Amino acid sequence: MAFRNVLVFTHLALALLLSGCANPQVAVAPAAPFDLEPLGQPLAQTSVRTALIDQIIVKDPVVISSQKPVLAPSDNDARIAKLRKADGGVLPDGYWALYKQNLEAMQYDLNHQHDAARVQYEQTYRDELSRVDDSTLQVMATAPTTLDEPTRRQWNARMADRQSQYIKTSEQALRAATDAHINRMALMDRQYNVCARNPECWDAPVKK
């Protein structure tokens, strides 16, 4: 079912219980355009190299930010109690139980919307680092600010490329979570015939 963006995000804002985002994702300024130098073939991995790569990745600002919850904690029971009071007791208990279930499903989806993007980001970064010599890995892991300027610019550009893909993947997950939530809520209102008495229901046809 197609819904206008304004309808989607109006309903979604209500469903988020006015909580807002607890942790906005880190923004990385893109590097000035220039040619990236090829990294070469992956080098033989050792326990030392693996430990250095892990150390670099765990400190990456995008990785750190992506692991934080998207939503602030929400009191679903209080929100539903307010809606039930406004409803005046017309809708049955089963409707509100399903409403809460849908909110929890939506909140779970949104709090995990960056999972696929993070995995993709880390895999790409790990592949890049696997092609770096031991001495550069050591500097990147322990004293990244001491990298020479040309090397730093190269890695800043790669980070901007990784983040660009991260954002695209996260946006796809957000759209999927939004669509799934809207569809669940529309099916709920259809099941309980809410639109027959409330034209602003979730299953309302799109106005042209």
Q: What is the pLDDT of residues 147-199, one digit of tens each?
A: 999 999 999 999 999 999 999 999 999 999 999 999 999 999 999 999 998 88
- pLDDT number for residue 164: 95
Q: How confident is the model at residue 1 (pLDDT cuts 50, 70, 90)?
A: very low
The rounded mean pLDDT for the chain is 85
Q: How confident is the model at residue 33 (pLDDT cuts 50, 70, 90)?
A: low
Question: Quick check: pTM over 0.75?
Answer: yes
- In whole angstroms, give the CA distance from residue 2 to residue 139: 52
Q: How confident is the model at residue 140 (pLDDT cuts 50, 70, 90)?
A: very high
- pLDDT number for residue 185: 96
Neighbours of 166 (CB within 10 A): 25
| Cβ-contact 113, 177 below 8 angstroms | yes
Which whole-number Å values give the CA distances from 78 to 36, 43, 75, 82, 92, in the listed order?
53, 56, 5, 6, 17
Q: Show the beta-strand stretches assigned E in 88-143.
A: none
pLDDT higher than 60, residue 105: yes
Q: How confident is the model at residue 34 (pLDDT cuts 50, 70, 90)?
A: low
pLDDT higher than 60, residue 13: no
pLDDT higher than 60, residue 205: yes
What is the percent of the chain where pLDDT is above 90? 73
Name residue 71's beta-bridge partners: 21
